[in-house]
Structure 1
Amino acid sequence: MSNTIDHPPLHDEQTRREQALTETVVASFDGTPDARLKQLMQSLTRHLHAFVRELRLTEDEWNTAIGFLTDVGHITDDRRQEFILLSDVFGVSMQTVTVNNEADADATEATVFGPFFVEDSPSIELGGDIAGGASGQPCWVEGTVTSTDGTPIAGAHIEVWEADEAGFYDVQYDGTELAGRANLTADSAGCYFFWGLTPTPYPIPHDGPVGRMLAATNRSPYRASHLHFKVSAPGHRTLVTHIFVRGDELLGSDSVFGVRESLIAEFTEHSSATPTPDGRAIGDRSWTSTRFDIVLAPTRAKTDSHSERHR
């Protein structure tokens, strides 16, 4: 049985008044000097008015929405961005990423940036450890960085960051010590390798208005297990992406819709007795390994045609 509320047909005069108001507000932006800003404001007006009119939004519902957005603003500070969180759980962040990272041959898919990136993370040599004291199961990560034509990208800059085994990033703890993040440089053959932590699932912050919205709509705040990458090289589009753990039961319900099938990787578990790739002593704890080959799309001029981008 449908839960949709049907509304009686509108009188012609009511329809005329509502349409006239929309047209008046749209026209108020006609004098906007910046053409793109004018387009954005007029389109936003049309969509917002259409939402209100289609659903016959009540004044109580609108006041509730205003109160909700006010709460989102109040909880936002220099360490917590609830508006980004709101964008994430509506899939708007991921849709914006998708629009701005068009498919290009077999280039690695992009996904959401997330709120926990930090500039100037520690630099490590190839084979180094990004954990920096963060707790978790050791994980050997390796791969290559190439162009879409298969050419290795020597010296590609790679930044990686992740949560610890408790599901928290370093910036969520008191203090300023960085852990679970680093940057490194691919070698002359475009190869990279480092020690990290086996990714674990964790909830996005859900003690605020966005969390209450998820609870009211019976949605989980949990993100699928993942490891963040930001990869850049001259002449190539900077890639922000994750890799996800194959077999994670949350792959189909990631709270910010960041999972892509092409980004799901095998994380193979090894016993403590299994030799590590670099001879590192693991002790009596098991470890995992994974491979993630990265393909960067070329930087393209904005005047390129759609057909040229997809040859």
Structure 2
Amino acid sequence: MPKVSDVPHVGKAILDAIQRGAPDVDLDDLPNLTDMSADKLTENVIAINQGCTNPRQKYVLEALVRHMHSFVKEVGLTPEEWMTGLEFLTKTGQMCTDIRQEFILLSDVFGVSALVDTLNHPKPPGATEATVLGPFFVEDAREVAIGGEIAGEESGEPMLVKGRILDTNGKPIPNCLIETWETDEDGYYDTQRSGEDGYVQDCRGRLYSDKDGNYAFRCVMPVPYPIPNDGPVGQLLRSMNRHVFRPAHLHMMFIADGYEKLITALYFKGDIFLSSDAVFGVKSSLVEDPKKVTDPAEARKAGFKKDEFYLCDRDFILITEQQAQEELVKAKAQAKAEATKA
């Protein structure tokens, strides 16, 4: 059973490729890939992929091949359409930079990001639901004390967000790290305003819950904004007459020992894009209706200079790592059963 490198007189290019890491395969193990008809091609692509030693990778790729080939047959894909697709993906990759990921945006607008998130972070009744992370999280947010501000009042309408971090039994979770970030009143994140010297942090911060699970911070009321639409994904959406807007939301992330990390966001009642989020991130359980407080004394007590502010009082319910694993097993079994039926 000769390997490629055992065959006499193979060219230097082949030997160089093997030297660089190309598998030195056993030629007798390879399927016959000549004279492939449309009905045989799929199975032969799968057959030649069988040398993959990672079971999960092999399973995923087999399903991917079957679905891609089925798609080509279903729509009767033409060579011109195939090339258009390749050119689109090429431009998508060329648009990516260290601070912009056009492929993630593409995944977002097709609902794939939201689907992966939903499937991998199912919650039992009563627990706070997760939603998409988005592209504007950074690791170096400044820390604020409980009740501190993550945004100056000049950045928008003042809002106080407070509540408790609890487990599913109502027990407080102390020392939970809370990351939060949002847009200013113009609909821009601070990273979108970066210049030659980087960006000035605003509308983002981190804090920790106290011994009773309490948290509070001052921010501003976020506003709707567009996803980046100056690249190939934006062109695709225009061709489909789809809008590029997200409803106003406040991102929040919770990290505590022994609990599943929760990435979520609060959305706000009455937003014009609440029911048509461009990236499918809105869940009804995450919609809030902040109360307008007009008492100047209450505003001063909360730490605001202005006389009025919005109050959002919201508890967040985390699940343990064990609960997360149990819910994931059930959700994936259900999703696979539904996919099989379809």
Once the two structures are superposed, residues 13-55 of structure 1 have per-residue CA deviations (whole angstroms, 9 ceiling, x without a partner) of xxx9222001111111111011111111111000100110011
Preserved CA contact (<8 Å) 1:107 1:296: yes
- The separation in 1 between residues aligned to 2:173 and 2:270, in whole angstroms, is 31
- AA aligned to 1:177 is V
Matched, 1:193 2:213: no
- AA aligned to 1:204 is I
Query: How much does 1:176 deviate?
Result: 2.5
- Aligned to 2:173, which of 136, 153, 156? 153
CA 279–240 in structure 1, closer or farther in 2 if over 3 Å, else same: closer
Preserved CA contact (<8 Å) 1:266 1:291: no
CA 292–279 in structure 1, closer or farther in 2 if over 3 Å, else same: closer
Segments of 5+ residues of structure 1 without an aligned counterpart are 1-15
CA 40–56 in structure 1, closer or farther in 2 if over 3 Å, else same: same
Once the two structures are superposed, residues 191-227 of structure 1 have per-residue CA deviations (whole angstroms, 9 ceiling, x without a partner) of 1011011011000000111111111111110001100
Matched, 1:203 2:223: no
Query: How much does 1:150 deviate?
Result: 1.1
Query: How much does 1:289 deviate?
Result: 1.1
Preserved CA contact (<8 Å) 2:161 2:216: yes
SS of 1:196's equivalent? strand
CA 34–301 in structure 1, closer or farther in 2 if over 3 Å, else same: farther
Give the alignment's TM-score, normalised by structure 1: 0.89
Query: How much does 1:179 deviate?
Result: 1.2
- The separation in 2 between residues aligned to 1:267 and 1:156, in whole angstroms, is 24
* Aligned twin of 2:311: 289
- The separation in 2 between residues aligned to 1:161 and 1:304, in whole angstroms, is 30
* Aligned twin of 1:118: 138
- Aligned to 1:261, which of 280, 284, 288? 284
Bigger-Rg structure (1/2): 2
* Aligned twin of 1:219: 242
Query: How much does 1:112 deviate?
Result: 0.3
- The separation in 1 between residues aligned to 2:154 and 2:48, in whole angstroms, is 54
- The separation in 2 between residues aligned to 1:245 and 1:274, in whole angstroms, is 25
* Aligned twin of 2:335: none
Preserved CA contact (<8 Å) 2:123 2:324: no
Matched, 1:37 2:57: yes
Query: What does 1:66-105 correspond to in 2, within 5 Å?
Result: 66-105=86-125
Preserved CA contact (<8 Å) 2:119 2:331: no
- The separation in 1 between residues aligned to 2:80 and 2:294, in whole angstroms, is 59
Show structure 1 runs of 4+ deviating over 4 A.
301-309
| Aligned-residue RMSD, C-alpha | 2.1
Give the alignment's TM-score, normalised by structure 2: 0.81
Segments of 5+ residues of structure 2 without an aligned counterpart are 1-35, 333-342
* Aligned twin of 2:274: 251
CA 96–281 in structure 1, closer or farther in 2 if over 3 Å, else same: closer
- The separation in 2 between residues aligned to 1:308 and 1:151, in whole angstroms, is 26
CA 44–277 in structure 1, closer or farther in 2 if over 3 Å, else same: farther
